[in-house]
Structure 1
Amino acid sequence: MRHTRLAAGLAAPGLMVASVPAVAQESPYAGMDAREIASLSQADVDAILAGQGWGLALPAELGGYPGPLHVLELADALELSDAQRAEVQAVYDAMKVEAQTAGRAYVEAEAMLSHMFKAGHASPQRLEMMLGQSADALADLRAVHLRAHLEVTPVLSDAQKEVYARERGYGGGHGDADHSGHANH
């Protein structure tokens, strides 16, 4: 009986020690503490600063409003005319410049938010201010990308939009919406 208690006493601490690293390894944030900006990976920062979409225009993209970059990538399949290609390229070029500017503002706002906490200067007042700056910057960035989809959509024919949807792998197509915000009945 004494051996049983001894074995149980020795096993229990071993189990606790063995379970500590397993818990630490399961943390979804492990390794993120080294990030310059807590909420953004380096890949996120690079994409945002490059003016890439970062998924910000998904409501438009998945709602039947083609994006300028993908329209240009699919130019041959869409049989874009020279005029269409030039118009979409102009929208894309303007969007990219605006997105890079807005993206810098968003990344800077997130960097300041992270720095506030790392430096130990967080307070409710600063938090509200920083969150407002970040939210405004993200909204501006998102608007840049969504507006570009709005600008490109009328450049394409309905047939081109259907080809776009099919080429992008969108199942049902987008012929059921009139793009004014109301479904066709």
Structure 2
Amino acid sequence: MKTKNAIKLVAAYTLLTWGTATFSQHSSTGHGVGQRQASAASPYAGQQKRDIKSLSETQTEDLLAGKGMELAKAAELNGYPGPMHTLELAQDLALSDLQQQATQALMNRHKTDARRIGAELVEAERLLDQAFSTRQITPAGLTSHTERIAQLQAALRASHLQTHLQQTALLTPQQISRYAELRGYTSGAPTVPSSHKH
């Protein structure tokens, strides 16, 4: 009798344990599915409504306006001033009239060039987007589109960096050092606030 009772108790315990474990498994599995579904939403959600999927409205506007978009950081942060900030700091840098005129002319040429390349880049991205949206994309076409975009991206960055090289040639070593101080690139130097990132 004792043996039979023991067997019954073990069986009951086993059934109880198995049932609890199964319930927990289903509950946690269901919860896990919900979590996976909730986290499956892409950070891209909503961007499918863009005119050009790979460019935000701000990026498009910046390209068309010839803005720096941080493309000249390699120059700016290594001691090669840019024309826009040089003009902003003209008084503190004690620019001569000739330096100001040359810097303004450089800035105007650069903006014209950057806007032209930016417009071409926006159009190239638009064509790539259209090729995908119309299901007309092919492997050869993809290569052609991306190579064109890469060439324009390189040309745009080169334009920004070349402008910094040309601007640096217009300044004295003392002015270049002062520029770095005013822009906050030297330790303990004051930082000049700016709304533009070049």
TM-score range, shorter chain: 0.7 to 0.9
CA distance in 2, matches of 1:138, 1:18: 40
Paired with 2:24 and 2:158, the residues of 1 have a C-alpha distance of 65
Match of 2:36 in 1: 19
User: Please, which runs of 5 or more residues in structure 1 have no aligned partner?
Assistant: 173-185
Alignment partner of 1:29 is 2:48: no
2:182 counterpart (162, 167, 173) = 167
Percent identity of the aligned residues? 39
Cα deviation digits, residues 73-102 of structure 1 (max 9, x gap):
111211111111111000001111111111
Which residue does the alignment assign to 2:79? 64
1:77 aligns to what?
92
How many positions carry a matched residue from both structures?
170
Give the C-alpha shift of residue 7 in structure 1: 4.8
In 1: Cα distance, 2:169 partner to 2:27 partner: 74
2:60 aligned residue (21, 45, 68): 45
CA distance in 1, matches of 2:51, 2:186: 40
Choose the corresponding residue for 1:90, options 105, 120, 131: 105
Aligned mates of 1:146, 1:152 — CA distance in 2: 10
Paired amino acid for 1:60: A
In the TM superposition, what is the alpha-carbon distance from 1:3 to its structure 2 partner?
5.2
CA deviations 1:11-48 (Å, max 9, x no partner) are 42233123311232xx3433322222232221111111
The code of the aligned residue for 2:65 comes to A
Deviation at 1:57, TM superposition (A): 1.6
1:108 maps to 123
Cα displacement string for residues 127-179 of structure 1 (whole angstroms, at most 9, x for unaligned residues): 1111121112222222221221121111111111001111112137xxxxxxx
SS at match of 1:76: helix
1:54 pairs, out of 44, 69, 75, with 69
- Can you give the 5+ residue segments of structure 2 that lack an aligned partner in the other structure? 1-15, 188-198
Q: Distance in 2 between matches of 1:6 and 1:132?
A: 56
Task: Look up the SS of the partner of 2:185 in the other structure.
Answer: coil
Letter in 2 for 1:22: S
Residue 63 of structure 1 aligns to a residue whose secondary structure is coil
TM-score (normalizing by structure 2): 0.78
State the partner residue of 1:180. none
Q: Say which SS state the counterpart of residue 69 (structure 2) adopts.
A: coil
